[in-house]
Structure 1
Amino acid sequence: MNLNTSQMLEDPLANVRSAAAAMLLNRRPNYSLEQPFYNDDRIYQLDIQEIFEKEWIFAGMTCEIPNKGNFITLNIGDNPIVIVRGAEGVVHAFFNVCRHRGSRLCVTEKGKVAKLVCPYHKWTYELDGRLIFAGSDMGEQFDLNAHSLKPVNVKVAGGYIFICLAEQAPEFEAFTEALKHYLEPYDTENLKVAVQSDIVEDANWKLVIENNRECYHCNGSHPELLNSLQQFDDTDDPLATPEYKALVARKQQDWDDMRVPYALQYFGKRNRMTRTPLLEGVVSMTMDGKPACQKLMGRITSPDMGSLRILHLPNSWNHWQGDHTIVFRVLPLGPQKTLVTTKWLVHKDAVEGVDYDPENMRKVWDATNDQDRVLAEENQRGINSIAYQPGPYSETFEFGVIDFINWYSDRIIENTGHKPA
C-alpha cells in the first residue's frame, strides 16, 4: 500500500481505509477476519482511529475517584487521558496534555491533586480544565481563557466511567439508562477496588475479545472458573439444559422478591446485560464457591445473586455478584499487544483481612486470565503464519464471537465512510 506525499499529509491511512473496508465488505459471513486485521500495524492504527477514538470506551469506575481532586489516567492509543473528580462531585475527562508545549500533566496512574499542574513549566489548571496560571512571562496580551485543557466526552452511569474522544460522540443513552437501573441495588459510589491486576498479552485486542465471547474452550482450559460459572447465560442459548432453565426459573423468583433486575437486554450487537445463576449451590466466583467478602454491596441482602453479566464492546466485560464485583478493561498497545486490567470491587467499608482475603478473591480469575493469555498468544502465533486463512465460527458455540466481529466490521465500514451500496 504505497501512499504519495499529498495523501500522507491529508490522510496517511487513506489507502488502508479503503483496503480494510473492501476486505470487510467482501468477507465470508461467520468466518474469522483476514490476517492483516490481527497483525498489521496499519490496521492497528485504523482500529485506534475508527474504533477507540470514535466509540464510547470503558475507562474506569467512579469509586476510584471518590473525592474532589482524585484522578485516574489511561492511554487510548497515543492519547493520554486524565479523568478527575471536580467540584460538586462532577467527573471531568481531558486530554492529559498541557496547552503550553504538550507535556503530560498527570504522570501516575492515579492520585489526588488540588489543581492540575504541568510538571514541566508549572502551568496550572482548575479541575474543570480552565487555565488559571501561566506565569508572568507570556506577555500582557496572553489569554488564559483560550488555553483551557481539551475536553473529552465523558458519561457516568451505574458507577462506570465511559469516554469518547470524538468531537461528536455516538448515541449511548439507552445503554447507560439501563446500566443505572441494573446497578441501582449495588450502590456503586460506595465501593472500592480491593485488588487489581494488569496483564500485557502478546496478542491483538480483537483476539482477546473473541476469546472472551465464547466458552467453546472452557472445558479444556478453565477448571477453576468452571467451579462456579455456567457455560451459558441465557435460556435461549441452544446449549442450555433443562436443569439450567429450571434453576433460572427458581432464582428469578428470588430476585423478583429482592427487586433486582435480571432480564436479558441487548443493545444492538454491542452491549448486553443479563443476570444468570452460578452453579447450583455456588454463590461466588471463588475456588470453593463461598463468598469472597462477608460484607455485601449496596442493598443486597443475599450473596446468592448469580452473576449480572455486562458486556460493553469494544473493551469490557463484567461480573456483578452479591459479595464482590469483577470488572475487566481491554486497551490495545500495539498490533500484537494488549493490556487487560482486572479490578475486584467490594463494599467500601469491607476490611481486608477481616471481611475479605484478596488472594482468595482473585484466585479464580488470576488463573483464568493467565489461561486466556496463553490461548490468545498461541492464537496470535498461528495467525502470523503464511498458512493462516479465515476459519469458520461455530454458530452454536461461538455466536458471541460472530456478533462481535459483525459489530466491529460494521463500525469500521461506517466510520471510514465506506457504507455498502
Structure 2
Amino acid sequence: MNVRDEMLAKLNRRKPGYSLDREFYSDPDVFQVDMETIYYRDWLFMGHDCELPKSGSYMTVQIGAYPIVIVRDAKKGIRAFHNSCRHRGSRICSAEKGTSHRLVCPYHQWTYDLEGKLVFARDMGADFDPSQFGLKPVHCESVGGYIFVSLADEAPDFTPVRAMVEPYLAPHHLADAKVAFEMTIIEKGNWKLTWENNRECYHCAGSHPELCRTFPEAPGVTGVDAQDEPEIAEHWSRCEAAALPSVFKISDDGQYRVARMPLLRDAVSFTMSGKAAVSRPLCDSVTTPQIGTMLMFHYPSIWNHILGDHATTFRVIPISANETAVTTKWLVHKDAVEGVDYTIDELTKVWIATNDQDRRIIEENQFGINSPAYQPGPYSPVHEGGVLQFVEWYASFMKTRLTDSRRPRLSQVA
C-alpha cells in the first residue's frame, strides 16, 4: 500500500469531530502528497496588485519546488511565469521584488519580454526557433487587489471565487493602496496546524492579550454559525445599509468564505487603544464608522482583515512537513505618509505580537503531535467550529482527490 492509499484509508476511518492522525501533521511523504494534491493544483494567494505599480514591476515567490515570478506587463496586466530559464533552467529573478523592462537570465543572458517571449538568445544557431522557448506561464487572476496563481496544467474555475469575494473587496479599493510593512516568520509546524490555530479563538484569552483588546472571542466570528449571534447580525444589517456587503457567505465545498465582523466595544482597528492606526482612511469612499473587519479565507493560502484604516493579509506557504512560512502585509491608503498619518509601530504592534505568540503555540503543538503517544482528540463544538470546518474541508477534499487519482483514465482503459 502506497502513501496515498494509506492516507485515504485513514481519512475514511477518521472519527468525525476529532483531529487528524499523527502522520497528517508530521510525515514527509504525506506532506508531499498535500503539496501535489492541493498546493500544486489550487488557487493560491501571492500578493497585491499595488505591489506591482508599473510595467516591469515584479515579485518572486517559492511554492514548494516551484519558483515563480509575477510581473506587470507592458499593457499593465498582471502575468505569472515559472521562474526558470528555458535555456538551462537557471532561476531568472532572484530578488523578492524589483523592476526591469526585460527579464534577463543572469547565467547566459537569455532575455524575455514582460509577456514571457524570448527576445534574445546569443549564438544558438540557424535552426533555433526562439518562439518555442518563451517562459512557461502560470495561471494568474486578480480580484479586488488580490493576486492568485495556480500551478495546475488546467486551473480550477476562478469564476465562483470572483463572484463571491469581489463585492466584499471592491469598496476598499485595495488595488490603489500600498504595502506599508511586511514580514515573514517561519513556524516550525505543519501548515494544517497553522490553519487550525487560525480558525479558533478558544486559545486567545490565554495567549493574545494585545489582540483581545479589540478582537471578539465570540465563536461565531471564527466559526460558521455567525448568523446565530444577534450582535453580529445587527452589525451586518448596519453595514449592508451603508452598501458594504457583510453577511456570512461560504462556498459549497467550504474552501473560501467572506463576512464582516464587529470589533469589541468602540474599537475601529487592531491597536492597543482600539483607535485607528492610520489617520487617513484606507479608502476615501468608505466613511461608515465602526465597520469592523472584513474577513476572508481561501484555503490553503490566505486569511485577511480589512478595516476602515488599513488591511492586513496573511499568506501561508508550506516549506516542509514541520515548517510553514507565514507572510503578513499591512496595507494603507496610497497617499498615507509614514510619520504623519501612521507609525509602523502602532500599525503593526498587535499582529507582530500575535504572530509570534501563534508561532510558539504552533511549535509546541507540533512537538506534542510528534510524540508516538499522540492520538487524535475531540474539538470543542462550542469554540472550535472553525477548526472543525477546516479539517472537514481538508478530509473531504483529499478523499475526493485521492479517490479520483486511483480511477483509471480513458487512455489507460483503451
Asked if TM exceeds 0.5, the reply is yes
Cross-structure match for 1:255: 239
Tell me which residue corresponds to 1:32.
Answer: 19
- RMSD after superposition: 2.0
Cα distance in 2 between the residues matched to 1:130 and 1:236: 45
Match among 178, 186, 192 for residue 200 of structure 1: 186
What secondary structure is seen at the aligned counterpart in 1 of 2:25?
helix
SS at match of 2:54: coil
Distance 1:287 1:323 in 2: 15
C-alpha displacement of 1:172: 2.6
| 1:247–1:139 Cα change, 3 Å | closer
Equivalent residues of 1:239, 1:396 under 8 A apart: no
Contact 2:186–2:323 (CA under 8 A) maintained in structure 1 = yes
Q: Point out where structure 1 has 5 or more consecutive residues left out of the alignment.
A: 2-14
Cα distance between partner residues in 2 of 1:296 and 1:76: 34
Q: Quick one: which amino acid aligns to residue 336 of structure 2?
A: A
Matches within 5 A, 1:7-406: 15-135=2-122, 137-232=123-218, 234=220, 245-246=230-231, 248-249=233-234, 251-267=235-251, 268-298=253-283, 299-406=285-392
- Distance in 1 of aligned mates of 2:57 and 2:389: 37
- Mapped to 1, the partners of 2:385 and 2:46 lie a distance apart of 27
**Inter-CA distance 49–92: structure 2 relative to 1 (3 Å threshold):** same
Q: Scaled by the length of structure 1, what TM-score is found? A: 0.92
The alpha carbon displacement at 1:28 in A equals 1.3
Change (3 A) 1:235 1:67: closer
Structure 2: runs of 5 or more not aligned: 408-414
What residue number does 2:411 align with?
Answer: none
Hey, what's the Cα distance between the residues in 1 that align with 2:288 and 2:73?
Answer: 35
Query: Kindly tell me: are residues 342 and 160 of structure 1, through their superposed partners in 2, closer, same or farther at Cα, counting changes over 3 Å?
Result: same
More displaced, 71-80 or 179-188? 179-188
> Contact 1:92/1:154 (CA < 8 Å) preserved in 2?
yes
Partner SS, residue 137 of structure 2:
coil
Q: Relative to structure 2, which stretch is displaced further, 407-416 or 142-151?
A: 407-416
Shift of 1:16: 1.3
1:414 Cα deviation (Å)?
2.3
CA shift in 2, pair 1:42/1:240, >3 Å: closer
1:178-233 deviation per Cα after TM superposition (whole angstroms, max 9, x unaligned): 22211111111110111111100110111001000111111111111010011237
Give the whole-Å Cα distance in 2 for the aligned partners of 1:316 and 1:193.
Answer: 16
The verdict on how the C-alpha distance between 1:420 and 1:128 changes in structure 2, with shifts beyond 3 A counting, is closer
**Shift in Å, 1:151:** 0.7
C-alpha deviation, 1:418, in angstroms = 4.8
1:245 partner amino acid: P
Distance 2:335 2:258 in 1: 27
Check 1:177–1:238 CA distance in 2 against 1; reply closer, same or farther (3 A cut): closer
Kindly tell me the number of residue pairs found equivalent between the two proteins. 405
The verdict on how the C-alpha distance between 1:239 and 1:148 changes in structure 2, with shifts beyond 3 A counting, is closer
Q: CA deviation at 1:239?
A: 8.7
CA contact (8 A) 1:18 1:418 kept: no
